[in-house]
Amino acid sequence: MDLSSYLLVGAVLFVAGVVCMATKRNGIGVLMGVELVLNGANINFVAFANYTRLGLDGQVISLFVIVLAAAEAAVALAIALSFYNNHLTIDVDQANQLQG
Partner 1 sequence: MTGHQLLFWVFAAVTCGGAIAVVLTQNVVRMAFWLIVSLGASAGLFFLLNADFVGTAQLLVYVGGTLVLLVFGVMLTASGPFSKMQTRPGELFLAGVVAILLLGLLGSSVCSVEWDRVIAATNSGHQITNQQSLNHGFNRPEEGNTGHPLGMAFLGMRPDRDLVAGNKTLSTGYLLPFEIASVHLLVVLIGAAYLARAKRRVHPNEL
Identity of the residue numbered 93? D
Q: Give the 3-state secondary structure of residue 94.
A: helix
Min CB(20)–partner 1 separation in Å: 5
| 69 lies in the binding site for partner 1 (CB under 8 A) | yes
- Positive or negative, the CA dihedral 89, 92, 93, 94 is positive
| 84 lies in the binding site for partner 1 (CB under 8 A) | yes
DSSP secondary structure letters along 36-90: HHHHHHHHHHHHHHHHSTTTHHHHHHHHHHHHHHHHHHHHHHHHHHHHHHHHS--
**Closest listed residue to residue 70, CA positions, set 34, 22, 95, 27:** 34
Min CB(86)–partner 1 separation in Å: 6
Applying CB under 8 A, which of residues 62, 95, 99, 100 lies at the interface with partner 1? 62
| 41 lies in the binding site for partner 1 (CB under 8 A) | no
The residues in 42-61 that bind partner 1, with binding defined as CB under 8 A, are 42-43, 46-47, 49-53, 55-57, 59-60
Min CB(53)–partner 1 separation in Å: 5
Residue with smaller CB distance to partner 1, 31 or 100: 31
